[in-house]
């Protein structure tokens, strides 16, 4: 019940224990071809999706490296640890960064984005976050994409914890680069970064004089498309690619609209349970991947997290950075269903009660039950 790495379906786990295929065999390349095609559905795109053997942060770095050059200007929506990560990467790689600073827990306002874009028409890239895992906030991506589309600035989106959980229609909304990782909505171990690129992004990347080798989208794209079966420039994570094939089968079978609805339902039930327990939600526009909650007065949220793990064997997480000790976060992301949410709420009630927080045992559970019963 952490916002990633998330639980993995047994079918996907056991694929991780299958014998390894050599990455240049027709057998492996057929698997990779299937993955490259089926992954597009997760991004709601018809554009190519690149696969890098790296964590999500590596995918973000690769996006900056390929879609901008040193000294070029990048606007970053910074409203949490992961929004700020875009800025840190861009600064480390000697780009000029203009921040739209958003109060933690809040979402950026489309007007703020419009203002930043019009004040910085020379910005080559706007970097945002779909679901800001550190605060639990969901940003208004459809509106931001519509604003950005009318400018010469490309819009790059960190959808690492948002993909296949929060609604995202890359092509329809007009997002130029969507970065994701495998350990969240894709229900996989961490280790693969996935990046989908719009036509605009594919064109822009050709003009960028930016030092790169491992991260080169051009190399990845060439290997993806030059032969009848797709390939990678460097040895791919073969075991993770095979696991992704199984995970994508599950995702296609459930249907992306149903998956989004399931996440909406689990998040709604979790939020109502927290409110019924007298707790206060942290995020003003909450993501459906994770629910962030203010720790009750006088309680360090780290103690709640520790007791959830030691007494109940459930992993939730505390706050990061300035929010450490102040909030706790419950993930309901990926391979997660109503029963997981009910058991988590019921266990949390026991933990809070053990910490002498004045709550009514069962009150949160009841609120969630009612949401579930009324959901059909």
For binding to a second copy (CB under 8 A), which residues are involved? 2, 4-8, 13-25, 53-58, 61, 70, 88-89, 92-94, 181, 183, 189-191, 211-214, 216, 234-240, 309, 315, 317
Nearer to a second copy, 88 or 326 (CB): 88
Between 174 and 181, whose beta carbon lies closer to a second copy? Answer: 181
Nearer to a second copy (CB atom), residue 133 or residue 198? 133
Nearest approach, Cβ of residue 338 and a second copy (Å): 20
Q: Which is nearer to a second copy, 44 or 66 (CB)?
A: 66
Q: Is 360 left (phi over 0), alpha (psi -120 to 50) or beta?
A: beta
* Minimum distance, C-beta of residue 114 to a second copy, in the bound complex (Å): 29
The distance of closest approach from Cβ of residue 173 to a second copy in the complex, given in angstroms and rounded to an integer, is 27
Place of tokens 């720790």: 295
Minimum CB distance to a second copy, residue 247 (Å): 13
| Contact assessment for residue 69 and residue 204, using Cβ atoms and an 8 Å cutoff | no
| Rounded Cα–Cα distance for residues 25 and 133 (Å) | 38
Do residues 80 and 133 make contact, with C-beta atoms less than 8 angstroms apart? yes
Q: Which is nearer to a second copy, 15 or 36 (CB)?
A: 15
Q: Which two tokens stand for residue 135?
A: 């605060």
User: Which structure tokens are listed for 178?
Assistant: 């969507």
Separation of CA 130 from chain center: 7
Q: Which is nearer to a second copy, 18 or 172 (CB)?
A: 18
Is the backbone peptide bond immediately before 236 cis, with ω within 30 degrees of 0?
no
Cα–Cα distance measured from residue 50 to residue 223, given in angstroms and rounded to the nearest whole number: 10
CA distance 246 to 240: 10
CA distance 195 to 203: 15
Q: How far apart are CA 29 and CA 22, in angstroms?
A: 9
CB of 74 to a second copy, least distance (A): 13
CB of 149 to a second copy, least distance (A): 28
């Amino acid at each position: 019940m952490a916002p990633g790495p998330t639980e993995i379906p047994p079918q996907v786990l056991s694929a991780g224990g299958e014998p390894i295929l050599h990455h240049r065999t027709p057998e492996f390349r057929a698997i990779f071809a299937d993955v490259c095609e089926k992954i597009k559905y997760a991004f709601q795109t018809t554009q190519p999706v690149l696969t890098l053997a790296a964590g999500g942060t590596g995918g973000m770095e690769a996006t900056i490296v390929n879609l901008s050059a040193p000294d070029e200007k990048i606007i970053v929506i910074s409203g949490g640890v992961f929004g700020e990560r875009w800025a840190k990467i861009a600064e480390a790689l000697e780009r000029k960064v203009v921040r739209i600073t958003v109060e933690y827990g809040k979402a950026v306002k489309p007007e703020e984005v419009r203002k930043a874009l019009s004040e910085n028409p020379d910005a080559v890239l706007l970097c945002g976050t779909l679901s800001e895992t550190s605060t639990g906030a969901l940003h208004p991506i459809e509106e931001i994409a519509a604003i950005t589309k009318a400018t010469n600035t490309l819009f790059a989106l960190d959808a690492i914890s948002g993909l296949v959980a929060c609604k995202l229609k890359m092509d329809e909304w007009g997002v130029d680069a969507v970065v994701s990782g495998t350990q969240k909505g894709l229900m996989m171990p961490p280790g693969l970064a996935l990046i989908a690129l719009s036509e605009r992004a594919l064109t822009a990347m050709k003009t960028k004089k930016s030092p790169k080798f491992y991260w080169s989208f051009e190399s990845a794209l060439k290997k993806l498309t030059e032969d009848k079966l797709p390939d990678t420039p460097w040895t791919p994570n073969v075991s993770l690619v095979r696991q992704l094939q199984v995970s994508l089968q599950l995702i296609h079978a459930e249907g992306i609209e149903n998956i989004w609805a399931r996440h909406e339902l689990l998040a709604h039930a979790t939020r109502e349970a927290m409110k019924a327990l007298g707790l206060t939600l942290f995020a003003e526009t909450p993501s459906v991947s994770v629910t962030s909650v203010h720790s009750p007065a006088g309680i360090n949220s780290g103690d709640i997290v520790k007791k959830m793990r030691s007494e109940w064997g459930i992993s939730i997480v505390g706050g990061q950075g300035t929010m450490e000790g102040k909030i706790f976060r419950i993930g309901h992301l990926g391979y997660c269903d109503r029963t997981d949410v009910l058991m988590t709420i019921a266990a949390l009630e026991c933990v809070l009660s053990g910490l002498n927080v004045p709550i009514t045992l069962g009150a949160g559970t009841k609120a969630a039950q009612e949401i579930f019963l009324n959901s059909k």
